[in-house]
């Protein structure tokens, strides 16, 4: 993670302004959705890409697989879990 050296204050409504320079570099436009993650005491904002969210694990990655004509998105881990569950149900 890189430090930008930019510091912003939270306003009375809990909002933080993302500087235009960062929005340009990260291709964040007005009305774009951002995902909010936390890691201990760190807040991470990421441009929302709903089409690449694994249906099983919730992991977001460009490496996730599109299946069933794009209706199902699975990560490697999600696919393995799904295969195991399907096999266990079919062996009963």
What 3-state class would DSSP assign to 10? coil
Mean pLDDT of the chain: 92
pLDDT at 25: 92
pLDDT at 77: 97
Query: Which domains occur in the chain, in start order?
Result: 1-48 (2.10.260.10), 51-90 (no CATH)
Is pLDDT of 29 > 90? yes
Q: Is the pTM of this model over 0.75?
A: no
For the stretch 32-59, pLDDT in tens is 999 999 999 999 999 887 678 899 998 9
* Alpha-carbon 31 to chain mean position: 17
Q: Please indicate whether residue 62 or residue 17 has the higher confidence score (pLDDT).
A: 17
Helix (DSSP H) and strand (DSSP E) numbers for the chain: 2, 4
């Amino acid at each position: 993670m890189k430090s930008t050296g930019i510091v912003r204050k939270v306003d009375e409504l809990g909002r933080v302004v993302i500087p235009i320079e960062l929005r340009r570099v990260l291709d964040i436009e007005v009305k774009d959705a951002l995902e909010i993650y936390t890691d201990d005491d760190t807040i991470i904002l990421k441009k929302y890409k709903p089409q690449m969210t694994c249906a099983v694990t919730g992991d977001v990655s460009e490496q996730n697989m599109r299946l069933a004509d794009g209706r199902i998105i699975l990560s490697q881990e999600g696919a393995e879990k799904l295969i195991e569950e399907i096999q266990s149900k079919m062996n009963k």
